[in-house]
A and B are shown apart, each in its own frame.
Chain A
Amino acid sequence: MNLLFQSRYYTSYQSDRDRKFLFDFGHKTIELSFCQLLAFRQNVHKMNLEAHFTGDNKHGIEILVLCNKEHIFILDTHQVVDLKEFMKGTFAMLELNSLVV
């Protein structure tokens, strides 16, 4: 297993043998195919961080459902901020790997 990126709350790995990606949320590790990874990325992209501060999402909670509803996560503002940076970092590392391979 190859470490891709690590942030405050999350860690991502790529498994060459299984051709899958693993995401460690601290209390839980999930396995994703590439297609599921793209869906995960889209879900994170859609999270509106501004709404946490403007009052539209005054509780500052995001519900993240992944892998065709197999996993559910409830995140607070800090975790969402970190998750957005984490996703950017993971894909930056994947792109870097594409350049060197």
Chain B
Amino acid sequence: MKDLVRQKLGIHVEIMDLLNEQIKKEAHSSSIYLAMASWCDHNGLDYSAAFFYEQAEEEREHMMKIFKFINDNGGTAYSPEVTGINHDFDSLEEIFETALDQEISITKSIHNIVFRCRKVQDLTTEVFLQWFVQEQMEEEQTIRRALELFDLMGTEGLGLKLLDERIPGIRK
């Protein structure tokens, strides 16, 4: 019997499912960052708002990368629904802590897919995901640098405003 599945689909079907789940997560991430940007905007933290608008765009780009990868390899990518986005935050520090938790969650998810690729011997997707492994390391480093600012500067008095002005510098 011909291997029609292999002729049509260049990646493992189980991995395609995991990548479609990842698309949902990246879209969810993008919306979370948009909510954070909105909060920062309303609270006069312009540099932090700009940072999170940029983060929202980046997560969408990540999502599109995976989306096109699935379709380019003969699979079917599904446009994700996004629900349950929190818009209420207590402080800028809470926002950056939430952002770091979010990035860690995405990192774990990517690593999980890589492990699964190794198990089912889907080298194509494993190589594709190497970029994401590297990217997630950089994303975590960036948010960590922001949280270090809170430790160093505090947020008393003008501290918060001065900290906000240093946010553009956390991207290397």
Contacts and interface: CB of A to CB of B under 8 A. Distances in A.
A59 to B, nearest CB: 25
A39 interface: yes
Contact of B1 (A38, A41, A45, A97): A97
B88 interface: no
Contacts of B5: 34, 94-95, 97-98
A34 B8 contact: yes
Given A14-B2, A19-B4, A98-B5, A91 B78 contact: no
A68 interface: no
B109 interface: no
A2 B76 contact: no
Contact of A91 (B8, B13, B74): B13
A41 B8 CA distance: 15
A101 interface: yes
B3 interface: yes
Contact of A38 (B4, B7, B76): B76
Interface residues of B, number: 16
Contact of B9 (A14, A21, A34, A42): A34
B80 interface: no
Of the candidates B2, B6, B7, B78, the one having the most CB atoms from chain A within 10 angstroms of its own CB is B2
A56 interface: no
A14 B4 contact: yes
A35 B78 CA distance: 13
A98 B76 contact: no
Given A34-B8, A91-B13, A98-B6, A16 B1 contact: yes
Of the candidates B7, B75, B76, the one having the most CB atoms from chain A within 10 angstroms of its own CB is B76
Interface in B55-97: 74-76, 78
Given A42-B76, A42-B78, A34 B3 contact: no
A16 B4 CA distance: 8
Contacts of B75: 38
A28 B9 CA distance: 27
Given A35-B76, A42-B76, 10 more contacts: A14-B1, A14-B2, A19-B4, A19-B7, A34-B9, A38-B76, A41-B13, A95-B5, A97-B1, A97-B3
17 contacts: A14-B1, A19-B2, A21-B4, A34-B4, A34-B5, A34-B8, A38-B16, A38-B75, A38-B76, A39-B76, A42-B76, A45-B17, A91-B13, A97-B3, A97-B5, A98-B5, A101-B2
